[in-house]
Amino acid sequence: LIVDSPHVHCDGNEIETTFHYRKNHFSHTPEGLKVSPKLHEYLFKTQLKPKKTGVLLVGIGGNNGSTSVGAVFANKKHMTWRTKEGLHTANYFGSITQASTVHLGWDGEQQVHVPFNEIIPILSPNDLVIDGWDINNKNLYEAMIRAKVFEPELQEKLRPYMEPIVPMPSIYYPDFIASNQECVVVLWTANTERYTDVTEGLNMTAEDILMSIEKSADEVSPSNIFAVAAILEGAHYINGSPQNTLVPGIIELARKHNVFVGGDDFKSGQTKIKSALIDFLVSSGLKPESIVSYNHLGNNDGKNLSEARQFRSKEISKSSVVDDMVQANKILYPTGKNPDHCIVIKYVPYVGDSKRAMDEYICSIFMGGRQTFVIHNTCEDSLLASPLIYDLVILTELATRIQYADASDGQFHSFHEVLSMLSVLLKAPVVPAGTPVSNAFMRQFASLTKLVTVLAGVASDTDMQIEFFTQLPKAH
């Protein structure tokens, strides 16, 4: 993308852009809510060359891990395979960074949509070097067979590449981190843990969590240990499961070591639809009163979630997805009471990785009426989650190349250590303390794409399309 603007300066190594952020400031007065629009001038500086990036998956021998690794080989080798439906070709469908486009405007004849990965230089999943750990020491070919995600013909084509890969037996591999990579992301795609207590003296500060690990405190979870180890080695950490790994002490530790953390829980199937549908309903002036979500699946995730304490972690992450959308409309929800929201997950081994999700939505509509939606969604669980793994890593690496400044002082800083720009990929986004959580899918997507266009110096407010119903003033 070539941008012709006085607000963009590029020397081939980095691009610097000026962005005028329009923000409303509010105050409550006796006369009512007072809104004061203000202009804030940012400078953004982005290194153009993506870093050589290593990915360490916690749970690499599981369905998501073996699928993620196998799909990279399939794409790099341009593999094809045949099923009863015909010939299939490896792709990265389901990845925002690799398979979505961004609307930039109207060129006088047609709408202009540009691939996400052409706006600013980002990694391809093919560039990633992937390894990881698992409690199962089977090689990834055996893991892939056990997962039953890929078709048999593809599994055999992948065998020479997957069979030599055996999960690492330990948490500490300094040679991999220090010698081979410029950026390393450790990502948890292992089983869901129960929620851990968050208390003073246990994990509220960086000192607390380090001391608790040293004492082998019962409430220190395996994912806490992986997160701390990653941070101490200068690696970024992403939590792809529902448990509350990112306790305050771990976030403080990340800040001290200048690394990013992100989470929680991949937003891939049923919850992704819910985060778009509830936003659509509430934005349409319809009032969701009851949401009942039933799931059954047969992979190891389903087996693990059949335990009550682990299910509670998932229930929390799946149920919180509607909160901000309900709170946004005091006309429909004057008391702030959420809709009735019930979530059920059952383990049915026969269906394997092919999760069934059934939802019923009941809405109050005009003049006492009622509208009911029933959705049956067959989610190929790992084929929906694996593209999110690539996106989480690719966007984290991009964040390491971005700095911003207040244009008035020119002092550049990195983003906050809690990487909330990943929210569109996560069920229960962790955000910096004191900032709001956004779960509405299209709002999250717009936030991410607007950021990327700003980094490139492209106008990011073109969706208003005011030029189609007004006389467009002259450009300045």
**What one-character-per-residue DSSP string does 188-221 give?**
E-SPPPPPPP--TTTTSSHHHHHHHHHTT-TT--
Residue 25 has a CB neighbour count (10 Å cut-off) of 9
Report the amino acid identity of residue 24: N
Residue 455, helix vs strand vs coil: helix
**Quick check: is 314 catalytic?**
yes
Q: What length is written for the chain? A: 476
Residue 178, helix vs strand vs coil: helix
Q: Tell me which residue of 246, 249, 250 sits closest to 262, measured CA to CA.
A: 246
- Token pair of 23, please? 């923000």
Report the amino acid identity of residue 190: A
Q: What angle separates helix 206-214 from helix 248-256, to the nearest 10 degrees?
A: 110
Q: Name, in order, each residue with C-beta under 8 angstroms of 131's C-beta and a sequence gap of 6 or more.
A: 54, 55, 56, 57, 60, 165, 168, 173, 176
Which residue among 157, 272, 318, 355 is the active-site one? Answer: 355
Which residue among 264, 265, 359, 391 is the active-site one? Answer: 265
Residue 224, helix vs strand vs coil: helix
**Quick check: is 346 catalytic?**
no
Which residue among 314, 353, 359, 391 is the active-site one? Answer: 314
- Token pair of 224, please? 């806490």
Which residue among 157, 274, 287, 427 is the active-site one? Answer: 427
**What one-character-per-residue DSSP string does 144-172 give?**
HHHHT-S-HHHHHHHHHHHTT---BSSS-
Asked if 236 and 395 touch (Cβ cutoff 8 Å), the reply is no
Q: How far apart are CA 49 and CA 41, in angstroms?
A: 25
Catalytic residues: 265, 314, 355, 427
